[in-house]
């Protein structure tokens, strides 16, 4: 009797598990139809660059080769008669993915997939191949527009990347490691990600498996619409580790429109170096919460300089758009029409004000290199820091006539704030510093147990630090 009761309970439990698994499976998305509908519009891209192959002897022409050794044949193979052996060409290949934008042969992929390619071959899932030409390629957004001479091609359906939500399902189709038309799925992990090397793209972060060969391929939503181009991964091993990034389609199509209309891509430029607002800095700048982007440096002769922006301004709104974090500003500025006068709402000295600035074109290169300082000078015991005045040479190196160089930092308020040796301190508590003596005077007036902003110039940029002197 007891055995029968046990089997009855076990049967009920197993039935419940089976039913739960079926319900769970029923709630998972089915990607089969999406893949079937779009596989013909996804392409494999083979980019070939013809490079010059040199022998070891050509790389080391003065190398003396020994004779009469057991390795004569080996040495001759690599080193024999370099003058009579001209450089031999060889082909470097890169594999990537792409997708058909229009039936008349426009194809999208990543810039890095076709960079420096002498020949680009597009292969479709029916094994047909076409040679493609590059209509335009933009390194900053990592987008390239290609064209093949074909008609009646199967195309993808484009989606709106502005209404995406974290947590929604997405699917990628591409050629990882050369495995054609592989599909991988996941969810959107975050939106508006800014990467150090790509500040003009608000990336879509996903956990979709992306590997070498997936670059340039489409990222689909559940409606079968392309909402991004898979571009890169974050990895400590070189392989996929659960963090991948895609370029939003609204950014991509802006690049495409510019390439089609003028053959190149231009971006708006404000001419400032910015940093994020931390909780401590928010307090020191009079903000209720961390928001906006702090201007840590105004580029000389740039748009912001002409509009009288100052280091320490906190940009809260740009052209009516709220700036929640510093990473949100560059993409918005970059897509602003060049020559447009834009209202910018800032916080300056605990007061809100609006400045109008005329946006200019982003220069090709921005060089803001500064050198380090030397030791020796006055000691501020309160902050545990040693300071020196700028020499004439250092004024030229730092492109500054005022400020003070940090010669040494000991354990204390300055080191806890993140101030380092060789920093150029430009201002403290929103007051510009003339020299080391002036710094000491200002230091004696600093409030206790309250965060105050310190602007320093470090390396190739400038940043604000929150300095706080604790009660003894």
Active-site residues, by number, are 112, 142, 215
CA-based torsion, 440, 446, 450, 455: positive or negative? negative
Site of tokens 């957004």:
141
Structure tokens at 76: 């001759």
Stated as kind and residue range, the H or E segment containing 55 is none
- In angstroms, the first-to-last Cα distance of the chain is 78
Say if CB 105 and CB 152 are below 8 A apart.
Answer: no
| Beta partners for residue 428, in sequence order | 431, 454
Q: At residue 15, what are phi and psi to the nearest 5 degrees?
A: -65, -40
Give the burial class of 178: count Cβ atoms within 10 A of its Cβ; 0-12 exposed, 13-18 middle, 19 or more buried: exposed
Q: What DSSP character marks residue 63? A: P
Say if CB 195 and CB 245 are below 8 A apart.
Answer: yes
Dmax (CA) of the chain? 100
Q: CB-side exposure of 113: number of CA atoms within 13 Å?
A: 36
SS3 267: coil
Alpha helices in 279-412 (DSSP H): 279-284, 303-306, 329-334, 392-398
Instruction: Name the pairing type of β-strands 157-158 and 225-233.
Output: parallel
Say if CB 254 and CB 202 are below 8 A apart.
Answer: no
Query: Would you state the torsion angle of the CA atoms of residues 421, 426, 428, 431, taken in this order, to the nearest 10 degrees?
Result: 160
Instruction: Name the pairing type of β-strands 424-428 and 431-432.
Output: antiparallel
Q: At residue 77, what are phi and psi to the nearest 5 degrees?
A: -60, -40
Query: Which of 384-392's residues contact partners 24+ apart within 8 Å by CB, and which partners?
Result: 384/409, 384/410, 384/411, 384/412, 384/413, 384/414, 384/415, 385/409, 385/410, 385/412, 385/414, 385/419, 387/425, 387/436, 387/439, 387/440, 388/436, 389/435, 389/436, 390/424, 390/435
């Amino acid at each position: 009797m007891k055995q029968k009761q046990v089997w009855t309970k076990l049967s009920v439990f197993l039935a419940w598990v089976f039913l739960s698994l079926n319900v769970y499976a029923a709630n998972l998305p089915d990607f089969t139809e999406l893949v079937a509908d779009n596989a013909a519009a996804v392409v494999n891209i083979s980019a070939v660059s013809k490079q010059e192959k040199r022998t070891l002897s050509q790389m080391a022409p003065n190398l003396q080769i020994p004779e009469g050794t057991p390795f004569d044949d080996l040495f001759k193979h690599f080193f024999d008669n370099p003058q009579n052996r001209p450089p031999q060409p060889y082909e470097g290949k890169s594999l990537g993915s792409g997708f058909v934008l229009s039936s008349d042969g426009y194809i999208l992929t990543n810039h890095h997939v076709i960079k420096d390619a002498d020949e680009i071959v597009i292969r479709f899932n029916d094994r047909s191949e076409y040679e493609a030409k590059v209509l335009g390629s933009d390194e900053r957004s990592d987008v390239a527009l290609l064209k093949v001479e074909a008609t009646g091609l199967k195309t993808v359906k484009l989606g709106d990347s502005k209404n995406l939500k974290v947590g929604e399902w997405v699917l990628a189709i591409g050629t990882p490691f050369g495995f054609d038309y592989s599909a991988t799925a996941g969810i959107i992990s975050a939106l508006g990600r800014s990467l150090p090397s790509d500040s003009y793209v608000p990336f879509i972060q996903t956990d979709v498996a992306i590997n070498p060969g997936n670059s340039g391929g489409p990222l689909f939503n559940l409606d079968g619409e392309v909402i991004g181009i898979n571009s890169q991964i974050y990895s400590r091993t070189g392989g996929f580790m659960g963090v991948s990034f895609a370029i939003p389609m609204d950014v991509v199509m802006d690049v495409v429109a510019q390439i089609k209309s003028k053959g190149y891509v231009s971006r708006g430029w404000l001419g400032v170096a910015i940093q994020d607002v931390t909780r401590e800095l928010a307090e020191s700048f009079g903000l209720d919460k961390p928001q906006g982007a702090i201007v840590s440096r105004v580029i000389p002769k740039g748009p912001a300089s002409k509009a009288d922006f100052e280091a320490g301004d906190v940009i809260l709104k740009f052209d009516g758009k709220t700036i929640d974090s510093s990473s949100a500003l560059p993409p918005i500025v970059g897509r602003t029409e060049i020559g447009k006068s834009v209202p910018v709402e800032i916080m300056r000295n605990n007061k809100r004000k609006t400045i109008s600035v005329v946006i200019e074109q982003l220069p090709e290169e921005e060089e803001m290199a500064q050198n380090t300082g030397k030791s020796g000078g006055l000691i501020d015991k309160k902050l545990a820091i040693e300071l020196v005045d700028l020499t004439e040479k250092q004024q030229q190196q730092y492109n500054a006539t005022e400020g003070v160089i940090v010669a040494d930092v000991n354990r204390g308020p300055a080191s806890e704030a993140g101030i380092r040796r060789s920093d150029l301190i430009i201002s403290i508590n929103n007051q510009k510093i003339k020299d080391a003596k002036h710094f000491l005077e200002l230091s004696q007036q600093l409030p206790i147990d309250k965060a105050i902003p310190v602007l320093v110039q470090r390396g190739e940029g400038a940043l604000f630090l929150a300095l706080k002197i604790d009660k003894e």
